[in-house]
Amino acid sequence: MVSTKAANRDSKSAHDVTVGDLSDQIAVLKNDIAALTNTLGAYGKAKSEEASRTAKETVDDLTTAGRVKALEAQQQAEEFIRTQPATALGIAAGIGFLVGLITARR
């Protein structure tokens, strides 16, 4: 019997929750959801800015590396031309002849 009275008391206290209490809890939940939405939005924006910055840095690094490689290739070509001018002239004439053949057939 004692357990039945305790169960009745618990169920009665559960029924004592009013509509006002539920409205207050719903309002709190709405505020919490709004705060979470704002936090997630800020987090997403920060991550996208970080990814954009990283991509720009990578592009800058690759551009710089490409320029360095191009300058090195240019210096090697100039050195080759200085040391072996006849060979360089023959290569240039051969390439010019091939380009002329290819463009003349079109």
Q: Give the CA distances from residue 18 to residues 12, 14, 15, 28, in Å, rounded to whole numbers and listed in that order.
A: 12, 10, 8, 16
Q: What share of the chain is helix, strand, coil (3-state, %, to 5)?
A: 95, 0, 5
Task: Give the mean model confidence (pLDDT) for residues 10-31.
Answer: 80
Check: CB of residue 42 under 8 Å from CB of residue 50. Answer: no
Give pLDDT tens digits for 49-104.
Answer: 999 999 999 999 999 999 999 999 999 999 999 999 999 999 999 999 999 999 98
Classified as helix, coil or strand, 67 is: helix
Distance CA 95, CA 82 (A): 19
Furthest-apart CA atoms within the chain: distance in Å: 115
Domain assignments of the chain as residue spans, ordered by start: 16-104
